Amino acid sequence: MQQFIELIRQPWPWYVAGPLIGLTVPTLLLIGNKSFGISSSLRHICAACFPANISFFKYDWKKEIWNLVFVLGVFFGGMIATNFMENPNAFQLSENTMADLRALGIQDFSGLMPADLFSMEALFSLKGFIFFVLGGFMVGFGTRYAGGCTSGHAIMGLSNLQVPSLIATCCFMVGGFTMTHLLMPFIFKLF
């Protein structure tokens, strides 16, 4: 049992983790013609918890209960991994990435997320408002506008050879590159 815990505690190489993620697509299709995506679970939660007279939420959400169970599994799996299976090795970040982030004023690289951005002090600042509230709204709007999230389009849609998923995934990547290389330096210079 100890060897198993040590095995799952270590980071897995891409050639193991990638195929395991990829196998969710045929598994879901074989189990019941289900499509994978995380953002749709928010719609199911809203339809279940806030039954209103909104046409978007008028559907049989109980048919999608498997999606809510999947998301709960992701949440609890993350909690278990974070609290009981922490990687004993120090977090490693590329020197080039740290140099680029230092140029933007980010200095704390002690964890997975820089404390300069992801702390309570940063949350209640103008920079925090831009990153968390405005950024969260843009991600939510983009997810709804694109008809799904990155996991739904990039994993499920591309494997099903759906052209809209290819377009959405390309737009997600362009948006990420634009934010990282053009907008983020500009936002950090304002503060």
Q: Is the Cβ–Cβ distance between 15 and 93 less than 8 Å?
A: no
- In this structure, the chain runs to a length of 191
Q: Pick from 146, 163, 139, 155: which is nearest to 35 by CA? A: 155
pLDDT in tens, the chain (191 residues): 778 777 777 778 889 988 888 888 888 888 888 877 788 888 888 888 877 788 878 888 888 888 888 889 989 988 888 787 776 667 778 889 889 888 888 888 777 778 777 888 877 888 788 888 888 888 888 888 888 888 888 888 888 889 999 999 999 999 989 988 888 888 877 77
The backbone torsions φ and ψ at residue 51, rounded to the nearest 5 degrees and listed phi first, read: -65, 105
User: pTM of the prediction?
Assistant: 0.72
